Amino acid sequence: MFIAIDIGNTNITIGLRQDDGTWEEYRIGSEKVEPLVYYTRQLAVISREINKQGHTIEGVGISSVVPHLTDVVLDATRLELHHDPVLFQSKWYHLLPVTPANPEEIGTDLLANALAACVEYQGPCLVVDFGTALTYTLVNDKQKIEGVAIAPGIKTAMKALAGNAAQLPEIPLELPDNPLGTNTVEAMNSGILWGFVGQMVFMLDKIRQFAGYPITTVATGGLSEVLKPLQPHFDAIDRHLTLKGIYHFFKLVQADRGAHHAG
């Protein structure tokens, strides 16, 4: 069993890759920094479940876009899972089949997405990640990341609206049938969620025009299944794409280390 840990701005997603390639997912909130013991306790629950199922851990990979959480999660992993994780970082980017245009600026989550899309779907592809930020990452026919677009994510927009308007509450995300609501909750869901549908359709068309070649469109992220009207616009919806990218990165690093050891 392989363990992928994706440290994002809202959640730490922990994915357990089963031997058949399927994923089991756990989430820990990341908006508040907790002490080391908190993360070791969270990982202890997962470790007990792995032991109960009779699995052994092949390795651990970590991607982080939250620098102040990286070291504490690395330490917790070493203490509780007894593995030294492979951290997704630039010193190994030369091993990747996909080339970032600006490696020091692109988030490792976006690079993991691009790597997984290249391996899993092949050919030119556009990855749309529904996370804290809504991101579009285009990988061209030469397996180079041609560019990225970043917009506020759905929950980020909802929190910003609720936080800056005294009479607007935070509400659950549910796409209404109508584009106009008759109460506050319906009105917020209509405006934000149907607005995202419109933005997405426009951006997909705009990026296709910019690319000028056929691309495979892949949606990922925890909210990738919320906007049902968008599903026909994607060739695939792969909730675990980032975790898969961390796994493929780990395998590349492992192979490189094995080659150097053999030499």
CA distance 164 to 188: 13
Which position among 6, 75, 109, 238 bears the catalytic label?
Answer: 109
Q: Give me 40's structure tokens.
A: 């070791």
The answer to whether 122 and 147 are in contact (CB under 8 A) is: no
From the CB of residue 221, how many other CB atoms can be counted at a distance below 10 Å? 27
Q: Position of tokens 């691309």?
A: 215
235 has catalytic annotation? no
CA distance 193 to 182: 15
- DSSP element (H, E) containing 11: strand 11-17
Pairing between β-strand 11-17 and β-strand 2-7 as defined by DSSP bridges: antiparallel
Which segments of 170-235 are extended strands (E)?
216-220
Give the active site residues: 109
